[in-house]
Amino acid sequence: MTEHLPAPQNGMSLADVLDRVLDKGLVIAGDIRVNLLDIELLTIKIRLLIASADKAREMGIDWWEHDPSLSNGKRDIAAENRALRSRIAELEATRQQAPQENQ
C-alpha cells in the first residue's frame, strides 16, 4: 500500500497535505456527521504515521492493520461509538429540556 504514498514533491509530502486538509481549514457542520473526535484521533494517528507505513511496521507499530478503530474489518467499535453518541445526545436533550435545533 505504501507505493500509493507519493514521494515528497517540491518538499511537499502527503504528510503536509494531510496535516492541512484534516487538521486545518474551515470547520462547518455538514449533514453527514464526521465526529470531530474521530477526526482528531485520526489526525493524531496520522501525525504518528506520517507517510511511512513501512517505517511504522519496522518499529512494530502495526495498529494500522489491527486497531479496531482503523481497520475495516471490525464494525462493532463503530457501532458502539454511534450508540454512545446517540445516548449522549439523548441525555443532553433531556438535561437541557429545551427544544434545540440540530446544527
Partner 1 sequence: MTATATYMYAITRPIAPEAVSDLRGIGGTPVRVIEHGELAALVGTVDLAEFGERPLAQHLADLEWLGRAAREHDEVVRAAARLTTTMPLRLATVCHDDDAVHARLDSVRGAVLTVLPELDGRDEWGVKIFAVADRTTPAETAPAASGAAYLTQRRRQLTSRDEWIDTATRTAFRAFGRLAEFAAASRQQTPQDQRLSGAEHPMVLNAAFLVSRRDEDAFRAAVADLAAEWPPGGVVLTGPWPPYSFVPNDDR
> Among residues 27 and 98, whose Cβ is nearest to partner 1?
27
Q: How does DSSP classify residue 12?
A: B
CA distance 32 to 89: 16
Identify the CA nearest to 42 among candidates 9, 81, 3: 81
CA distance 22 to 15: 10
Q: How many CB atoms lie within 10 A of CB 50?
A: 16
* 51, 5 contact by CB (below 8 A): yes
> Among residues 12 and 88, whose Cβ is nearest to partner 1?
12
User: Does residue 64 interact with partner 1 by CB under 8 A?
Assistant: yes
User: Does residue 99 interact with partner 1 by CB under 8 A?
Assistant: no
> Among residues 65 and 90, whose Cβ is nearest to partner 1?
65
> Among residues 60 and 97, whose Cβ is nearest to partner 1?
60
String of contacts with partner 1 for each residue 7-36, x by CB under 8 A: ---xxx-xxxxxxxxx-xxxxxxxxxxx-x
Query: Residue numbers of the site for partner 1 (CB under 8 A)?
Result: 1, 4-6, 10-12, 14-22, 24-34, 36, 38-40, 42, 46-56, 59, 61, 64, 69-72, 78
